[in-house]
Structure formats: C-alpha cells, structure tokens
Amino acid sequence: MTQRFLIGQIRWLPLVLAFISVTGTFAQDEKQIAPVGRIYALTNVTVVPSPGKKIEKATVVIKDGLIQAVGTAVSIPTDAIIMKADSMYVYAGFIDGLSRTGVIKPKDEPNPQRPKDPGNPPADKAGITPQNDVRNSLNPTDKSVEELRNIGFTLAQVVPYGHFLPGTSAIVLLGGKSADEMVLVDQSGLYSELSGAQNVYPNTVMAVMAKWRELYRNASLTKSYQALYASNRSALTRPLNDRVEEAFYPVIDRKIPVVFKAEKILETQRVLTLKNDLGFSLTIGDLKEGYPMIDKVKTSGAKIFLSLDLPDEVKKNEKKSKNKNDSLKTAKTEKPKSAAELEKQGLEKRKNDAIVKYTGQAADFHKAGIVFGFSAMSAKTKDIQSNLRRMIAAGLPEEVALAALTTNPAKMLGLEDRLGTVENGKMANLVVSDKPYFNEKAKVRYVFVDGNLYKLDIKEPKKSNGSVVAKGNWSYTTETPNGTNNGKLTINDDNGTLSGTISNSTSGKGTEMKDVALDGNTLSFSFEYSMGGNTMKIDVSVKIDGDAFEGVMTPGKFGSFPMKGTRDPK
Amino acid sequence: MKNLKLIAACLFLYGVAQAQDKGNLLIKNGTVLTVTKGTLPETDVLVKDGKITQIAKNITAPQGVKTIDAKGLFVMPGIIDAHSHIALDAINEMTSPVTAEVAEADVVNPFQINIYRALGGGVTTIHSLHGSANAIGGQCVVLKLRYGTFDMNAMKMEGVPRTIKFALGENPTRVHGGGSNIVPRTRMGVEFVIRKSFSDAKKYMEEWDAYNKNKLVKGFRGASPVYNLRLETLAEILKGNIIIHCHSYRADEIFMLLKVCKDFGIKKITFQHANEGYKVAPELAAYGAMASVFSDWWAYKFEVYYSTAYNAAILTKNGVVTSINSDDAEMMRHLYHEAGKTQKYGGLSDEEALALITINPAKQLGVESRIGSLEVGKDADIAIFKNHPLSIYGVPQYTIVDGIVRFDRANDPADMRLMVDPKQNLEEATLSEKGVDRCMEGTEFLFTNDKN
C-alpha cells in the first residue's frame, strides 16, 4: 500500500510544482572568509568542550584545520585573526548521522517504459547498485550543504538517492570545494531501504527482503570460494568478480555496517529481522517511531540515529480546552456535544497523544539507556533547532541532546579521535552561537569546518512597530521546473487575528489558509492542496517589506521554492 | 470524557495482555461445543497458561483466576479462517509468475483494525495468504489474532508448517500473459510454469545434495551451486515441508494440479475457493487433497459461474476435509453464518457445519493437534456466543486467544487503533479499512486502458 501511495505522490508532483512557482534567488546569508593563514583565535568565549562541561571566558586557537589550544590562559599567535566572541558559546560542530546533504539527485527518467519481463529487470532498475559510491554524486555547492551548516552541522553521513540498495555511504564535511575535499571517510556503510522498484521485481517489501537474503548469502558463498581459490588456484574454476557481491564483502567481514533508513515501527522490525537472519552490523537512521519497541531496539545492539523531523506541534488552544476548569465551564454554558463532536474530540486526543509520543522518543531512548545520534534525512532544516527544543521540553536533558549531536555520533562513526569535542588536536569543526545553542533566541554566528570559517550575517528582524501590514490583497509569483505560476493572496485582519485565502491563476479557486501568523515582518501560513484523494500540506513563510514580500513555499517533502509578491494597488 | 476514559482503560488492559501473552481463565456453565467430542451442557472450561487444562462440571476457580459466567451461552473453539489477506502490508509480488521466495511473514502488520473486527466475529486464527496474481505466489503466514501487540512477530503462530500460495486460471494468465505478454497466457501455460518450476527445483536440490555430500570428503575443493531462494523454497515443497494452498475454480484445473502433484510426489495440498470442487470431490478425497471454499459466492468472473451453495456439503459428504473461508475482511466477521448456510444447502449436522470453520481449517494448516476444537491440552482459543453460533441470532460475546480475552462485547471502545499517524489529517483517520477482495491487490493498473 505504501508503494502505491508513493507512486501516487510522484504522479502528483508536477501538478504541485505547477501550482507554485519561483523567481529570483535567495539572498545569501553567509560569506566565506578567505582562509589566509587559516589561523583564528576566538576570544572571551564560553567553551562547551563536551556535553555538560563549560569553560568561561576562554580562548580557542585554530590553526591548519586543527584546534591548537583551548583554555583561559592561552597565548594567541601573533598572526592569528582575532575574533572577539564575548558572550558567545562554542561547541564541537554537529554531526548528522544520515541524510542526503550535498548529494545530487538523479533526474527522473521521463516516461519510464514498462519492461518486457518485469520479473527479471536489469540490476539498476531493480535498485541493486550497492557498488555505487556516493562520492561520485557529491556537490559541495548544493544549497543543502550551506543550509545544514548554517544551523551548526559540520559533518554528515550521506547516502545516494534510490531505493533497496542504492550504494555506499560516505562521511562528508559540510564544506570544501570538491567532492574529494568533502569526503572524510568513504564507504562508511552499505546503504539500504526496504522499498521496492516500480513495476519490476522486487516491487513489494517482501520481495525486497527475500532478495536481500539471497544477495547476501550468495555473496558469502562467492567470498569463501574466492578465498579458497586465492589459497591455491590449481584445478579450480575461476570465480567471477561480481561488483554487486563484492559490495557485500566488507559487510560480511563486519568492517562496515549496513545503514538502513527505517522511520516507522514495522520497517524497524523488518530491518531487525534481516539483521537476525544474516548477522550483519546494523545502523538504523531516521528513526521516528521506535518508541513502542525500545527494548527490542536496545537488545539488537544496532546503532541508532533518531530523526530530527517531528510532526507539527499540538496546537495550544486545543491543549487549553482539555483543562479541567474549562471543560466544566463549557459543560455549563454550552449544550452537550453531539456524537460526531465527541468522536472528533477522541480522534484529536489520539492524534495529539501520538505527537507527544514522537516528540518524547529521544527522551524515552535516553531513559532506556540507549546511546543515540540524530539524522537530518527527512527533517526540514529550518525546523531542526525548534524540534530539538521540543525534544528537550519533552524531557531530553540538554547535555544528552548535545551529546547526540556531537560525541555520540563521533563515536558511532568511529571518529572520536578527531571529532565530537572542543579539544586540542581535534579537527577544527566548531559552531559558535550568540546564546546557548538550545536557547530559543540563539543564532549561529560562525561555523568552522575543517578549520575553514563560515561567517553568518545576522539580520536583526525588524521590530514589529505596526508598520508591517499583512492585511490586504497580494499578487504572488512562483516558478518551478514546470514553469512560472502566479496567483492571489487575500488576508483579513480581525483585531489581530489573521485569516485568508490563497488562489492560483490557473484554477482561480481559493483555498483557506491555516495558522496565519505575523511575527515581526514574517508572515507564515499553510494551506492544503488536494489531488486525487491525497492531501498535501504546503507551508509558506515570507518576509514583508512594505508593499512587497519575498520568501519560500514548502510543499511537503518536495523541497522549497522561492515566492515573491506585491500588494495590489487599491 | 467517559469515552476517553474507557479508551485509556482499554489500552491499559491491552498493555497488560501484551506483557503476559498467555492467560488463565475459568469459563463457567456454558454449553460447550467441543466440535470433536460432542456438546457438553452446563460445563466449565479451565485455562492455564494459555492452554485448556480441564473440561468438566463444577470446576472451582483456582485463586486469582478470572471467571467468565457463560450460563446460557455457547462456548466454541475460536474460528479459523483458512483464507484471508488482512494484517499484511503487501499481498501480491506480481512482477513474476513465480515468486516462491517471498514470505508474508516478513510483512505482517499487527496494527490493522480489521484484526480487532475479526475478533469481534469470534475469529482467533487466520491464514493470511499471498495474492493470486502468480502461478506460484509467495509463502503465507498463520496468525493468531493477538491484537494489542506491537511486535509483528508475536502475531505469528509458533512452530506451524509452512504454506505457500499457488493460483490457476484467469488471475495469473491475466496478470502475466495479458499484462506482460509472457508465459502463462493460458491454462496450459500455468501448468507449464508449475511443472518447469518443480523440475528446476528438483535439479537444484540434486546439485546442492551432491555438493553437500562432496564437501564431507576430505580435501574436497570446489564451488557451491548458486544459491537461489526461489528454487530453495520450491525444493522444500518437493520435500513435503510446505503445504500448497492453491487458488482454483474449475474442475479441470483442479484435476490438472492433482496430476502435477502426483508426478512430483507432493501430497500436501489444499484447493482454495474450488468452486467446482464438487465435480471432482471423489478424486480429491482419494488423493487426500482438501478444499477451502466460499459458502455461496460466485459469478464475479467468467470462470466462477458454474458454482453451487451445496459445494461444501457435497465435498464433506464425499470425505474431503473442507473448510469455509472468507477471503474478505468483512465476511470473516460472520463465518459462523457462512458455515450455517451448509445446513440449509446440504443439511450438514451442527458438528459438521462447525467443523468447516474450526477443526477442518486447522487440518488444512497442519495445526489440528493444537487448535480447532475444545480439548484438554489444546490452545485456549475460544469464542463465546449468545445463542447458538449457527443460529441467525448468534452473536459473539467474548473472543479468547491463548487464554487472554481479546474481544469483550460489553467493553468494546470505539477507537481501538494501536498506532496513530501524528501527521494524518483528522478527517482521514482510517477507522474504516476497505473490506474488498484483496487477492489481486497491486495488479489493478493492468486492467485499465493505460498500459504504458
């Protein structure tokens, strides 16, 4: 059923793209300082060398890509660029355990032909390309690299696009000018997803699992025969060198793990089933729904990267109405609820409970004694900081959250000698924020990747002084690979409560906006787009400057598209 | 608020049930329909650690053991559905005419609300099959309806014989011949595909046997045959370790597969649907083949026209072990009515009719020593009815799996979902799951005009 849903989404994408559109590009919020000498001294800074520790009013010296000195009595080299970081905080650069940051997405095949014999497709059509090295599809200038770095990430374990067995992962620095400069560790794991091919074998999860077992067992057999052959080649048939099988050899030798993406509870159980059947070392990434199976996950010994994606927060007003006094009041003043209302209320409660469970997963894993990292794979980068704060509010201790971003993944990826802490001799991967990182108002000011400085210009948001007016009629444009589109926004202001509709010029039909909010000069809202029985939520966030706005429209997981608009003349 | 409390209480109950897995219970003073050992009025059934330990009058409840007062109620073995597709995340791997290697056991979904609804119909065990798109489909799974568990493996009945789905006739020829223009396009082609698969498996088995034998010889050096999970599975059928459950309608194709089985020495086979089974009932009985049929469902495609509601009765009277199945999430909730129809059409006795949904499907799954009747030593899978289950007034009150009450009509909250998608719109909350025939799920696109 999942498969069918996916196909549905893919068919739907061009239509979504047609609805929204793009013109112009983003203002770059960041400048890379030319790395002359590459000697820096951060002074008067609060250092968090490792989770739970703190050195105040310290100096950090960075030279040749390494941390040269950390402490309060550090002599600053005369040729260092001194960066006054008074009242700022410096942490080890964050590590993302699983994503496709900086990985080039292959173009979709236009009108893929239905194969002649769907049961015997070529290996690449079947999704069996474990020999692919993600290093061959890295792009250091991809926007995703900059975006993730801008919130403090300096390293990521990245995987190729595709399903089933798309290739090997690599651990890459989120900076550098070439793919080779980015790669810190190549072939860090064999990446796999339990999702099948379209229209060809293996199509269903059960066929993917069957094929997985067959490939692995055959690779084991060939590998031992190759060893036998190597020991004495006389009178033995030459073994064939099969690149697909060879890709399994380091897994069979337990030199690298199989890295599985598994968001949901059943996917996770299926991955554990394969691990039990075949005995490989396992890393699970992007886990969102592991909480009902914590004990099983723990005893499996798998390395875990929890997803940084979370479902939307429980709406505050819904929470309020669950307050006892309120419900008593409503009971007195309002007429009794209908069966339909009660049912809706029950459904709402179940959904909110699920949101709470998802948000509390990291805290639950910590309580169960599982050491975990985080993965950014399906998270929207702009939501990651607030999602971390939500996990902390749900009971995850701050120092554990920090460990999950730094020391834990460094250890899990075998890099603890080089990364994860702010210590002499470690690689200069650092993040500097103007307030403690988990503070709601914290902004990342500097990021060091491999000793290279990335400086973020912080535009102070204009204070809302009443001059920003969202109310009114606006025309917007967006542009997508499918062409330019435009439409209208109508925003009403009822004593500070905003509402409105969005329409596109093709259909002319208005869609109700949800969660309309004006924060400073940032107008945000979302709306739902229905097509073929599916509904997609599209988020919009734009900055209003007088009678114009600029920002982004984010349809589900299909990336973000710039959006521009002007106020209609009265 | 009351509703919410009830849900909370119920979830708690299920949390507990999940933790202990096997229950203790005393069912007092019911009319006990054992199916295999007659009907016992005013009798008690004692359950310990999920097994029936005593069936007698006036049993005193051991300390702390919960008692169900079944006075005036009917106590029968939990219903077994030999043909279902619920609790699965994938039904058809329809990309190839032979997919013996795939296993439904890998894609069990313990969260489907249909599981709970089946419990509401007195069902305790189901045979969840691969679909009928392929001549040789995937391996099926026998599930106990332990609704409440989050562990997909905990749903599986432990230590049961393996089963596999075959399919004859229109479905595999439409999907592969019609859809992909490959063999099989005809019924002859289906027979060829099956015979060729068995021949290949035989050869494969011989190659591996030879290799394993050679390996024992000191100093042996050589390569193993290529490992092939499909042929490996087919070889297990030839060895008698996997029971065939074959989707079939017409008498000629049923007879064809009997001949194929005979040629390859395969003894264990149950024909699913077998709408024309009544035409070859003596042949089925002589071979020891079994049949799992609908009570009165036919004419939904050309090959299913020549049918009769007397099918189950004729098969039974000819000595074929016969069951009545649902193949459908909705119909499985009233299989007791389906069984009752054989009393109208064929005049089966109560015991014969009840056997169609209890001990007979158990035999077809090779688990008759463990479930399918109320006997000391068997699993405590029990359905308790108000009014006789074969009566039109029969209504399930309690459904018990391994001694644990998994359905209690008096305590049946509205929202029994175990997992809720926190990103799903409220309006889309899937409280209703479709109950249509899912035998051909995943293949629908082949039958539209768009055939790119």
What chain A residue is nearest to B233 in terms of C-alpha separation?
Answer: A210
Q: In percent, how much of chain A has pLDDT > 70?
A: 85
What chain A residue is nearest to B98 in terms of C-alpha separation?
Answer: A119
The CA-based diameter of chain A, rounded to the nearest angstrom, is 94
Q: What residues in B contact A530, CB-CB < 8 Å?
A: none
| Best CA proximity match to A479, nearest among A488, A487, A471 | A487
| Phi, psi angle pair for B256, to nearest 5° | -60, -50
Q: pLDDT tens-digit profile of B135-166?
A: 999 999 999 999 999 999 999 999 999 999 99
**Token digits of residue A515:** 């969660």
Residues 6+ apart with CB under 8 A from B411: B6, B10
> Between A and B, how many residue pairs show a Cβ–Cβ distance under 8 A?
151
Mean of per-residue pLDDT scores for chain B: 92
**Token digits of residue A467:** 């001059």
**Token digits of residue A276:** 């039990």
Q: What residues in B contact A210, CB-CB < 8 Å?
A: 101-103, 106, 229
Number of separate helices (H) and strands (E) present in chain B? 12, 16
Residues 235-254 of A with CB under 8 A from B: 235-237, 239
Q: Do B95 and A203 touch (CB under 8 A)?
A: yes
* Strand-pair category, B395-401 with B382-386: antiparallel
Q: What residues in A contact B93, CB-CB < 8 Å?
A: 201-204, 206-207
Q: Is A228 on the interface with B (CB under 8 A)?
A: yes
Q: Do B95 and A292 touch (CB under 8 A)?
A: no
Strand order in the sheet with A510-512: A510-512, A497-504, A483-494, A472-480, A561-567, A548-555, A534-545, A522-531, A514-519
**A11 vs chain B: nearest CA distance in angstroms?**
14
Distance (Å, whole) CA A124 – CA B85? 31
Which among B152, B153, B415 has the least Cβ separation from residue A350?
B415
Q: pLDDT tens-digit profile of B28-71?
A: 999 999 999 999 999 999 999 999 999 999 999 999 999 999 99
Distance (Å, whole) CA A412 – CA A97? 9
| Best CA proximity match to B138, nearest among B164, B169, B167 | B164
Q: What residues in A contact B227, CB-CB < 8 Å?
A: 214, 217-218, 221
Which one of A1, A5, A206 would you mutate to disrupt binding with B, by most B Cβ within 10 Å of its Cβ?
A: A206
- For residues A155 and A99, the answer to whether their CB atoms sit within 8 Å is no
Q: How far is CA A177 from CA A138, A150, A182, A450, B385, in A?
A: 11, 17, 8, 12, 74
Which one of B102, B109, B150, B451 would you mutate to disrupt binding with A, by most A Cβ within 10 Å of its Cβ?
A: B102
**B424 vs chain A: nearest CA distance in angstroms?**
8
Number of separate helices (H) and strands (E) present in chain A? 14, 26
Q: pLDDT tens-digit profile of B289-320?
A: 999 999 999 999 999 999 999 999 999 999 99
All structural domains of chain A = 2-28+463-567 (2.40.128.120), 30-93+420-456 (2.30.40.10), 94-106+121-310+368-415 (3.20.20.140)
Which residues, in sequence order, are bridge partners of residue B405?
B400
Q: How far is CA A365 from CA A395, A397, A400, A501, A557, in A?
A: 11, 12, 11, 42, 26
Q: Do A202 and B429 touch (CB under 8 A)?
A: no
- Residues of chain A short of pLDDT 50, as ranges, are 1-32, 318-327, 329, 331, 462-464
Give the pLDDT score at B259.
98
Q: Is A348 on the interface with B (CB under 8 A)?
A: yes
Mean pLDDT on B113-120:
97
Distance (Å, whole) CA B309 – CA B293? 10
Which among B223, B419, B421 has the least Cβ separation from residue A225?
B223
Q: What residues in B contact A324, CB-CB < 8 Å?
A: none
Give the pLDDT score at B13.
42
Amino acid at A134: V
Which one of B86, B95, B438 would you mutate to disrupt binding with A, by most A Cβ within 10 Å of its Cβ?
A: B95
Q: What residues in B contact A225, CB-CB < 8 Å?
A: 223-224
Q: In the CATH scheme, what architecture does the domain B78-372+435-446 have?
A: Alpha-Beta Barrel (3.20)
Give the pLDDT score at A42.
96
Q: Is A354 on the interface with B (CB under 8 A)?
A: yes
Q: What residues in B contact A218, CB-CB < 8 Å?
A: 226-227
Q: How do the domains of chain B map onto residue ranges?
A: 78-372+435-446
Distance (Å, whole) CA A50 – CA A43? 18
Q: Do B106 and A206 touch (CB under 8 A)?
A: yes
On the question of pLDDT at B212 being above 70, the answer is yes
- For residues B293 and B270, the answer to whether their CB atoms sit within 8 Å is no
What does the buried/exposed string (b/e) look like for B55-94 if buried means 16 or more CB atoms within 10 Å of the residue's CB?
beeebeeeeeeeebebeebbbbbbbbbbbbbbbbbbbbbb
In eight-state DSSP terms, residue A34 is: P
What chain B residue is nearest to A118 in terms of C-alpha separation?
Answer: B95
Q: What residues in A contact B181, CB-CB < 8 Å?
A: 116
Count of C-beta atoms within a 10 Å radius of residue A262: 27
Higher pLDDT, A12 or B97: B97
Distance (Å, whole) CA A71 – CA A59? 6
Which one of B106, B139, B220, B436 would you mutate to disrupt binding with A, by most A Cβ within 10 Å of its Cβ?
A: B106
Q: Do B429 and A351 touch (CB under 8 A)?
A: yes
pLDDT band at residue B444 under the 50/70/90 scheme: low
Distance (Å, whole) CA A82 – CA A453? 12
Q: What residues in B contact A200, CB-CB < 8 Å?
A: 95
A405 burial level (CB within 10 Å; 0-12, 13-18, 19+) = buried
Which among A225, A292, A311 has the least Cβ separation from residue B150?
A292
Give the pLDDT score at A511.
84
Crossing angle for the helix pair B229-238 and A205-231, nearest 10 degrees? 100
Q: How many residues does chain A have?
A: 570
Q: What residues in B contact A326, CB-CB < 8 Å?
A: none
On the question of pLDDT at B12 being above 60, the answer is no
Q: Do A239 and B224 touch (CB under 8 A)?
A: no
Q: Is A232 on the interface with B (CB under 8 A)?
A: yes
Mean pLDDT on B98-124:
97
What chain A residue is nearest to B224 in terms of C-alpha separation?
Answer: A221
